[in-house]
Structure 1
């Protein structure tokens, strides 16, 4: 039996979305054409792959066929790569853009060769989680935390980097001359949050843990706005990853935090039922780069992580 990979792809995308309309949109075809492809594949295989009454769901035969279908599509992509020298694309949505997430991704994927990344901007983790579940993207990269109402059910993650954060203050801030600071030293200062605090899980947990009661938030208007606000308000500070670039250091001090050092946890996330053919390769790249650059160094006596990040350490 010769399988048409176009039919197999139609099945796989529909199985991922369990929605003929969204699958057709993803494949850039009409819902009628998609239905005909699925029907043709079911005729070739002499089995019914989907139940269509009361919502779309896989039959037992469809459940059995799905893993093999993914393997067939991956093999087809490898065959094309071997002939053309151009690799498939991996869609990856990032969030936490003020902290420049792509600098970490770029370091890890240098060894990917012909695999192409297609970066996409995510508003925040809840929006990227929804995109992953819809099948609109293959991977997410940023700080992952539990979402209320089980909105992250069906997603999995891998911690790939723990990055120390510094306190950033104006050169006129009372603590600006310090060579290092403890988080407790900041209790008389105001934590400036570059978005609504309800959306900034890390900053919210930091403020609660170290009793930073003065908090101010506002709309995310970009890095330049953040820098200008900290420079102008001598009572404010914010947290910023130690390796992330600040667009303009003039009038600012970036001071390391110690006793303990807060760590920002970067993770890759994907949908459990949709493992991109090159996911394992990507994970190996992050693991090898992280080992070389000591991205996952963590000492409980020295460092601080939010409670929700501790569980990630055991599966990294």
Structure 2
């Protein structure tokens, strides 16, 4: 039995929303048609994927397993479509993903010296879409920050950099040479939705705010709604008078890695990986000392 990707996309839509009506609206199909497709998928797999009762819709154990496996599978299929389209156009192009504060210029220059005919484009990634963008082909290779879901990826460490605590400009600790975690006891924390991405396990009070990128983080910190942590290179590109960055040496350093899809078989991607490894030290230095070297951060 071949797994029907269209049915799988329909399943993911329902599983994400746990509501057939809302999923049908999102997919622009009629709800009865969606229900028939889900039943057909259940018959194909020989397993019930949803429990439906008067309380609503929930996933069965089989449904939860399929949802876990569906993401990488659909992303891989989408990446195949993108790569075939690029190949059909006959263009030689490489898209490099990067996180805020990580310059790609050193590796680009080394790569372009060997491949002057290849167009290198860039795309900024946030913490929650790093893996997805690599798996679905939106970027071919990427500079990522840990933690990242490494399923389906090849991830190689490049360098590490210290973390800084971000404080409102009027904070009692703003302007200090350094602080400890003990100094921050009781401070509300502005952080990502996933607590596992925090650089510390110390129990900071939750501010109730959820942020996606550095810009959102700084807005909330400047407004006095909490503190946060960022890599040192990120502070270079986000200097502003209403916040203060202070070193916090006892925290583990932020790890920067190079990543690509494990299924990726591209000499160009491999050559850029080689360039990234060769220029890792230069990249780390540029990220801290030379904002002009990372002009791509604004894209």
Equivalent pair of 1:141/1:266 in contact (CA under 8 Å): yes
Q: CA RMSD of the aligned region, Å?
A: 3.6
Task: Name the counterpart of 2:84.
Answer: 27
Task: Name the counterpart of 1:188.
Answer: 186
Pair 171,153 (structure 1): closer, same or farther in 2 beyond 3 Å: closer
Q: 1:213 aligns with which of 200, 204, 224?
A: 204
Task: Name the counterpart of 2:93.
Answer: 89
Q: 2:244 aligns with which of 234, 253, 257?
A: 253
SS in 2 for 1:92: strand
Equivalent pair of 1:169/1:254 in contact (CA under 8 Å): yes
Aligned-partner Cα distance in 1 for 2:208–2:105: 30
Structure 2: 5+ residue stretches without partners: 1-74, 286-299
Residues 94-151 of structure 1, C-alpha deviations (whole Å, 9 max, x = no match):
4x5xxx15x42233322222243222344545x443444444542233124364xxxx
SS in 2 for 1:178: coil
Task: Name the counterpart of 2:161.
Answer: 163
The answer to whether 1:106 aligns with 2:105 is yes
The answer to whether 1:226 aligns with 2:217 is yes
Q: 2:261 aligns with which of 271, 277, 284?
A: 271
Residues 211-260 of structure 1, C-alpha deviations (whole Å, 9 max, x = no match):
23212253437545433321221x722112212235342122211112x2
Deviation at 1:89, TM superposition (A): 1.4
Residues 242-298 of structure 1, C-alpha deviations (whole Å, 9 max, x = no match):
12235342122211112x243111212112232321233222322222235667xxx
Pair 132,286 (structure 1): closer, same or farther in 2 beyond 3 Å: closer
Aligned-partner Cα distance in 2 for 1:229–1:191: 10
Aligned-partner Cα distance in 1 for 2:147–2:230: 18
Deviation at 1:159, TM superposition (A): 1.1
Q: Where do 1:8-27 residues align within 5 Å?
A: 23=80, 26-27=83-84
SS in 2 for 1:160: strand
TM-score (norm 2): 0.56
Aligned-partner Cα distance in 2 for 1:272–1:202: 23
Deviation at 1:18, TM superposition (A): 8.3
TM-score (norm 1): 0.54
Task: Name the counterpart of 2:143.
Answer: 141
Pair 116,216 (structure 1): closer, same or farther in 2 beyond 3 Å: farther
Task: Name the counterpart of 1:119.
Answer: 122
Pair 25,92 (structure 1): closer, same or farther in 2 beyond 3 Å: closer
Structure 1: 5+ residue stretches without partners: 1-16, 30-72, 74-79, 81-86, 296-316
Aligned-partner Cα distance in 2 for 1:237–1:177: 14
The answer to whether 1:202 aligns with 2:197 is yes
Task: Name the counterpart of 1:300.
Answer: none
SS in 2 for 1:274: coil
Aligned-partner Cα distance in 2 for 1:110–1:294: 15
